[in-house]
């Protein structure tokens, strides 16, 4: 198994649109083949044809459920591969985790409060002099003991002592003192760590509906500082596995009459 692939057996890179044999058999992300009747029911599909040779491919679209493990894995690879080039601007990568005390009820205001607290921390003069920017991701879980909300941050920063961060975090949040700061290794490793919660369904202990209602429309991944405005998602073109063309046509909307005849002659009509 490829070490970069959580729960996958293929040798592909996990792109948002993978055409390797294993993915075409139903194990891949993005433009993978449909793998079960339940997935057909849950996810809408779109039929694509290669504009050059007519190769047919069925795309499984997002279902819109932010607890869906299929969509979350796609989001992980889409953001990981898309942000990887931009994130190379980070020269001294650190991984910081800032945690709030568990609460019995999850609200949008509580999540916004976490982001405001982090902003307040980073805006202090001592931190401004040592942190250049980074990427923030919010993770929310419920293991039966209330809602555990915390932020993972991939930082471009100088040395930051954990004791000072914990003291300042406790002061800003009125009691939350759990923090962790460590070297990220490489920028790629740091990005993967910050996004890894997306690769599987969140632990919610039968509180899925509350989670969906609260996080609907909220942005849980966000750049700041030197990366704000410069963190651009760059996704590769998807080549046709038959001819290598990167131009795809949507069956429902874009087919000209002559191309429909071309597909009919190839048995796709």
Q: pLDDT tens-digit profile of 23-57?
A: 333 333 333 333 443 443 467 878 888 888 888 88
Secondary structure class of 24 (helix, strand, coil): helix
Q: What length is written for the chain?
A: 269
> Which residues, at least 6 apart from 269, have a Cβ–Cβ distance to it below 8 Å?
260, 263
Q: Which domain holds residue 153?
A: 90-225
- What mean pLDDT, rounded, does the chain reach? 80
- Assess whether pLDDT exceeds 60 at residue 73: yes
**One domain, residues 62 and 22:** yes
Nearest Cα to Cα of residue 221 among 164, 138, 155, 147:
138
Residue 211: in which H helix or E strand, if any? helix 208-215
**One domain, residues 55 and 30:** yes
**One domain, residues 96 and 205:** yes
Q: How far apart are CA 83 and CA 87, in angstroms?
A: 6
Please state the domain count of the chain.
2
Residue 100's pLDDT band (boundaries 50, 70, 90)? very high
> Which residues are bridge partners to 45 per DSSP?
60
Question: Under a CB-based contact definition with an 8 Å cutoff, are residues 191 and 154 in contact?
Answer: yes
* Domain CATH number, residue 167: 3.30.70.260
Looking at residue 91, its pLDDT comes to 92
């Amino acid at each position: 198994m490829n070490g970069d692939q959580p729960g996958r057996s293929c040798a592909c890179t996990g792109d948002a649109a993978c055409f390797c044999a294993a993915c075409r058999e139903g194990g891949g992300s993005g433009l993978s083949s449909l793998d079960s009747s339940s997935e057909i029911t849950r996810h809408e599909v779109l039929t694509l044809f290669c504009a050059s040779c007519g190769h047919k491919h069925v795309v499984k679209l997002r279902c819109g459920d932010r607890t869906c493990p299929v969509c979350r894995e796609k989001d992980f690879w889409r953001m990981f591969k898309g942000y990887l080039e931009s994130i190379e601007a980070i020269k001294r990568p650190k991984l910081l985790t800032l945690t709030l005390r568990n609460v019995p009820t999850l609200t949008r205001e509580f999540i916004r409060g976490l982001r405001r607290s982090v902003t307040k921390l980073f805006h202090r003069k001592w931190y401004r002099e040592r942190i250049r920017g980074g990427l923030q991701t919010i993770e929310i879980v419920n293991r039966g003991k209330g809602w555990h909300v915390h932020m993972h941050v991939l930082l471009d920063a100088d040395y930051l002592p954990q004791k000072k961060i914990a003291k300042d975090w406790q002061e800003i949040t009125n009691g939350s003192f759990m923090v962790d700061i460590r070297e990220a290794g490489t920028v790629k490793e740091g990005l993967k760590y910050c996004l890894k919660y997306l690769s599987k369904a969140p632990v919610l202990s039968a509180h899925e509906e509350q989670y969906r209602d609260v996080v609907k429309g909220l942005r849980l991944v966000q750049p700041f500082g030197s990366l704000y405005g410069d963190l651009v998602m760059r996704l590769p073109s998807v080549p046709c596995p038959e001819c290598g063309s990167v131009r795809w046509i949507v069956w429902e909307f874009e087919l000209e009459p002559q191309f429909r005849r071309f597909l009919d002659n190839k048995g796709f009509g």
